[in-house]
Chain A
Amino acid sequence: MTGMAEQQATISKLSGEIMQEHRSLWSDTWRHFVRHRLALISLITMVVVASAIIVGPFFISYDPERIDFAAKNESPSLAHPMGTDELGRDQLVRVLEGGRISLAVALAAVSVAMTVGVLFGAVAGYAGGWVDNALMRVVDVFYSLPGLFILILLVTIIGPGFLTIVVAIGILRWMGAARLVRASFLSLKEKEFVESARAAGAGRVRIIFRHILPNALSPIIVAGTLGIAGAILTESALSFLGLGFQPPQATWGRMLQEAQRSVLNDGHWWRGFFPGLMIFISVLSVNFIGDGLRDAVDPRRIQQ
C-alpha cells in the first residue's frame, strides 16, 4: 500500500514539474528581471532618484532660485548636503529641480525616437520591396549624420526650448529602433497568424498595430531603455556646452557648465561633483536596467 502512495506522490511531483503554471509574457519577464541583481538594484536606485526629483523639492524649505548671500559658496554640510553656489542657492534643491528637466527631456526624446522608429520600421518591413529599400536608405543617411554637430546646429538655429531639444535629440536617435522593427516585421509578416488575420478580413493598419507590433515589442523596449541613458548624456553634453537650457533653469549639464569656473579657480568641488554624479548614477542605472531587460526578454534564455 505504501508503494501505491509513493507512486502517487512521484507522479504528482513529476507532473508538477512538467505542468508549468500559466504566466503571461510580462510576469515571466519580470521574474527573470528580478534575478538579475544589478538590474534590480539599479531599478530601485532609479525609483529613488525619480521620487526624490518629483517630490523632493516640496520637502526642502529652500527655494531653488532664492539668493542668500549670507550662505554663499558653502561646502556640503547638514543644512546644505550638496553645498551652495556663489549666490547662496542650495545645491541639493537645484540638483533635484534640474533632474526633473534632465530626465523629462530624456524620456520625451526617447518617446519621440521610438515612435518615429517604430512607424518607419513597421512601414518598411510590412511593405517590403522598393518602399523598404527607399526608407532604409533614409535610415542610412541619418546614421551617417554627425549627431552632436547636427544637434548643436538645430539648437543654435531654432533656439533652445524644451520642444526643440526633445525633437532634436529624438530625430537623431530613431534609426536603431527602425532597423529592429523592420527586421521583426520582415519575418513576422510571413507567419501563419498574420495570414489568418488577413483571411479574417483585418485591414493593413489593424494587422500592423494589433497583430504584428505586439510581437515585435520586446527588442524595442530594450533599445528604448538603453536609449534613455544615451539621451541623458546627450542633453547634458548639450547643456554643458552652454547650448541647452538657459539659466535660471537648471539641468545637470547646465549646472556643471556653470560650476566649471568655480571648481577650477576656487576649488569648490561640490559645485561640479554632485550634478555630474547624478548624471553618472542615472546613466549607469539605466544601462543596467536595459541589460537586465535584454536578458529577461531573450527567448533563448527560456530554453537554457
Chain B
Amino acid sequence: MSTASVDSPVPPPPVLRAQALTRTYGKGDTAFRALRGVDVAVARGESVAIVGRSGSGKSTLMHLLALLDRPSSGRVEVHGTDASTLSGRELNRVRNAEFGFVFQQFFLTAGQTVFENVSLPLVIAGVAPKERRRRTLEALDSLGLADKAGNRANDLSGGQKQRVVVARALVGEPSVIFADEPTGNLDSATGAQVEDILFGLRRDRGITLVVVTHDHELAARCDRSVTIADGLVVAGRSAEVAA
C-alpha cells in the first residue's frame, strides 16, 4: 500500500475537503460561533491531527468532517461530492461504509460481548450474518483480540477496550478513521500501543486518519497537523512523512 502519488497526472480529489466552514450555535445575542471559516483538505492515506485547546472548535470541525453535523455555511466534500447534496440515507451510508470512529470514552455496550460490539457497524449496514462473522473475527484477529471475542466488553482492560474500539472502526473497511482523543483515557504505555496500531493501519491499509487531540506527541506523529483556535485555523504544520 502507498499513499497517493504526488506526480500522478490527474490527482484524485481529496478524501475530505472543507471550504469556508462556519458553525454557529444558538441565535441572536447568545449565538456562539464555534467555527468562523475553516478550510481544510485531507488527502487519501494522509494522517492529519486537529489540535487546539478545549473550546477551540476542533471537535466541531471533526463532527462536520465526519458528517455528524451540518455546517451553518460553507461546504464539506467527501471524495469530491458536496455532502449537502446527499440525502439522509446517503449520509448514513457514507458514515457507515466510509468512516470509522474511535472515541476517547470507548462507547462500548457494556453488557454485550466483544464480538457483538465489533460487529455493530456491519449489523447496521445489513451484512449477512455469515459474512459478518467472518469479517468481525478477521478484524479482532488483526488486533490480537481473537481470543476475547466471547468476553463481555466490560471485563476488559482500558487498552483492550480501545483495541476493541479500533477493531469496530476497522471492521467496515472504511477509508477514513476519525479518532477523538484516542489515547486520552489510557496510560502512556497502552496509549502508545493504540497509536502504533492506528498508524499501522494507515501504513498497511492506506486508511486516512483524522485525529483530534491536544496531545502534542500524538500530533507530531501525524503527517500534518491543523491547529484551531477560536474557530479559525491558526497554524498548519507539514511534518515529514511518518516513519
Are these two chains actual partners, yes or no?
Answer: no
Name A's B-contacting residues (CB within 8 A): none
